[in-house]
Amino acid sequence: MIWLFLKEHAQWFLFYVLSLISLNGLLVLDSGLYHVSILYLNSVYSVLFFLFVGWRFLKDWSHLKRMENQNFEDLDRMQSPYMSLLVDRFQQEYAHQTNELNQMKIQVLEERDDLLAWVHEVKTPLTAMKIMIEHVEDGKLQTRLEHEWLRLYMLVDQQLHQTRLQTMEQDNRLERVELHKVISNEIRSLKAWCMEKGIGFEVEELELEIVTDAKWLAFILRQILSNSVKYSHENSEVHIFMSQQQENWALHIQDSGIGIAPEDLPRIFRKSYTGSVGRESTAATGMGLYLARNAATKIGIKLSVNSKVNEGSTVTLVFPEQNEYTKLYGM
């Protein structure tokens, strides 16, 4: 506090020194002031100056103490006319910026609601298209159409969850979930794509119940499994199994695909990052793992990836022993 005060009022001490030099010079040069005691005048001048500095230091220190204690009742009395003008100007600017920020928040919320409404509207023709595709008699054509429909559906689904992710805390429900059912449903939804590439799934025993949000867990698994199928070699298998890490259960999804380059691995969870492989494909958006990691974090799941080029990737989901939301809701 003392050092801050000295830095703030350094010009006072400079003025004091210059004044003292000028006064002493005047006393020495003016012959009419020879009888005046230079030591006496210097002492009086110095005492008065340091009394003033001490009074001002105590006043400033008192003001800062009140502000630290958030005691603003007598803030107007504490301000000098100059400071009062500055505070008024800052308050006006703060009110203006706050108003603009509120307007932007309202605009963003309106755009988010419009986007959600659009996504829901798109789902209706997608459902109709799915029914029409199921009635196509040509098996090969049906498989290709189902694959393209699936790509479109997953893009729409990804956009829907990306929009909802910001308010995920208001849109979750904890329940006991049978892990094998969730995984089976997501594998079934990728059936057309898997048939086209000849991808199979080797699923070990997953008889485990976890407390989590089933909808968001399904979304996370959907992003991971779709990546496994997308980057796996044709006529290969995806291995899904469980392990126990200390007191936590971990789910592993392992493919034998093209893998991820070491320089890309630390950045795969960044938004819109496609990596060296993604740049070669127009289908890559760089959003799947970013959204999966964010959603997983919010429901207490730790998501990590290990990979080697041309050997494949293993995505690991570590489920918490007791979810933080479980503590909150007492489940």
The confidence score (pLDDT) of residue 315 equals 95
Smallest CA-to-CA distance from 277 within 296, 289, 264, 293 is with 264
The DSSP-derived string for 251-262 is EEEEE-SS---T
Alpha-carbon distance values, 307 to 204, 262, 314 (Å):
21, 8, 6
Residue 110's pLDDT band (cuts 50, 70, 90): confident
Q: How many CB atoms sit inside 10 A of residue 306's CB?
A: 14
Closest CA to 250 of 241, 259, 258, 237: 241
Amino acid identity of residue 163, one-letter, is: T
Instruction: Report the C-alpha gap between 293 and 295 in whole angstroms.
Output: 6
Sequence-distant (≥ 6) Cβ neighbours of residue 212 within 8 angstroms: 174, 175, 177, 299, 300, 301, 319, 323
Q: Which of 68-82, 141-155, 208-222, 267-281 has the lowest mean pLDDT?
A: 68-82
Lowest mean pLDDT across 27-41, 189-203, 207-221: 27-41
Residue 317 has pLDDT above 60, yes or no: yes
Q: What is the pLDDT of residue 108?
A: 83
Phi-psi region of 286 (alpha: psi -120 to 50; beta: other; left: phi over 0): left
Q: Closest by alpha carbon to 9, among 63, 54, 48, 47?
A: 54
pLDDT of residue 118: 83
Q: What is the mean pLDDT of residues 112-120?
A: 81
> Is there a contact between 213 and 173 (Cβ–Cβ < 8 Å)?
yes
Q: Residue 68 has what pLDDT?
A: 65
- Which H or E run includes 306? strand 302-308
- pLDDT higher than 60, residue 278: no
Indicate if the alpha-carbon torsion angle 25, 28, 32, 37 is positive or negative: positive
Residue 74 is predicted with a pLDDT of 54
pLDDT value of residue 32: 66
CB contact burial 183-210 (16+ within 10 A = b; e otherwise)? beebbebbebbbebbebebeeeebeeeb
Average pLDDT over residues 286-302: 89
Of the ranges 51-65, 140-154, 211-225, the best mean pLDDT one: 211-225
Q: Which of 172-176, 267-271, 280-284, 310-314 has the lowest mean pLDDT?
A: 280-284
Mean pLDDT of the chain: 82
Distances (CA, A) of 194 to 151, 189, 237, 252: 13, 10, 10, 19
pLDDT higher at 13 or 327: 13
d(CA 329, CA 107): 33
Average pLDDT over residues 38-42: 80
